[in-house]
Amino acid sequence: MSALVCPKCGRTEEEVEFIDAFCKDDYPVRLKLPDRMELEQCTRCARVRLQGEWMQFSDKKIAKYIISKCKGDYDSAGYDMERQAAVFVMSGSGAKVERIIPLDLKKTICQQCSRMSGGYYQAIIQLRGDPLRVLGKGTMLIKRLENRTFISKSEEKDGGLDIYVGNSKAVVEVVTTLGLKTFITKKLVGRDQGKRLYRTTFLIRL
């Protein structure tokens, strides 16, 4: 019995895997795929930007994002990061078809790292009171805030500790979760495209 020959490329089943009468590379499918994908990756924190949001690098999330850009008649699909190959299970036949979608990670610096390196901060937490309580609460606050934003610096002050935080909204979320009573003041520090910019101080007495 003679070997199958792909009617499109002329290769035989001895050279490449076949799906029905076609080789796996030329199997007729209805797929609309991006020629390549480009994502921004921060050179400092290694996070990537997906749909306008910076997040921790995750093979699973990136693969899901790439597949979301693929359209066509298939039952399921996955993306192999190492080989940069999308694998589709075709609707009806159940055959697996593989297509290469190159992924380029464009190196840049995210806004958070840029601000961090420049000493930027939106909020100051002023902890005042018993030194041991200030130390313990300060350590807890820093740990929780680092999961949401960044800490520019922390400084020991007479009677307490000042923590300089990149995002004031994150401070509100954390102190509310911890049930801490705070005295809040805001200071206008400038404008950005007509929008007023404030720096917020959170005074917490322990």
3-class SS of residue 25: coil
3-class SS of residue 141: helix
Q: What pLDDT, on a 0 to 100 scale, did the predictor assign at position 94?
A: 75
Nearest CA among 156, 201, 199 for reference residue 175:
201
| Strand 103-108 versus strand 37-42 pairing type | parallel
> Taking 80 as the threshold, does the pLDDT of residue 165 lie above it?
yes
3-class SS of residue 181: coil
Q: What pLDDT, on a 0 to 100 scale, did the predictor assign at position 141?
A: 96
Are 23 and 11 contacting, i.e. CB atoms less than 8 angstroms apart? yes
- Tell me the average pLDDT across 50-74: 93
Alpha-carbon gap, residue 49 to 138, rounded angstroms: 31
What share of the chain in percent tops pLDDT 90?
A: 63
Q: What is the tens place of the pLDDT at every residue in 193-202?
A: 778 888 999 9
Q: What is the DSSP letter of 46?
A: -
Q: What is the pTM of this model?
A: 0.64
Element (H, E) at 138: helix 131-145
- Tell me the average pLDDT across 143-147: 93
> Taking 70 as the threshold, does the pLDDT of residue 181 lie above it?
yes
Q: What pLDDT, on a 0 to 100 scale, did the predictor assign at position 157?
A: 87
Other beta carbons within 10 Å of 131: 13
> Taking 90 as the threshold, does the pLDDT of residue 91 lie above it?
no
Alpha-carbon gap, residue 26 to 4, rounded angstroms: 13
- More reliable by pLDDT, 94 or 59: 59
Q: What is the tens place of the pLDDT at every residue in 102-135?
A: 999 999 999 889 888 888 999 999 999 999 999 9
Alpha-carbon gap, residue 8 to 23, rounded angstroms: 8
Residues 6+ apart with CB under 8 A from 86: 33, 66, 67, 70, 77, 78, 79, 80, 98, 99, 100, 101
Average pLDDT over the chain reads: 90
CA dihedral 106, 111, 115, 118 (to 10 degrees): 30
Alpha-carbon gap, residue 92 to 14, rounded angstroms: 26
Where are the extended beta strands (E) located within the chain? 18-19, 22-23, 31-32, 37-42, 48-50, 53-55, 71-72, 74-80, 85-90, 96-100, 103-108, 123-128, 151-157, 160-165, 183-192, 195-205
Other beta carbons within 10 Å of 85: 14
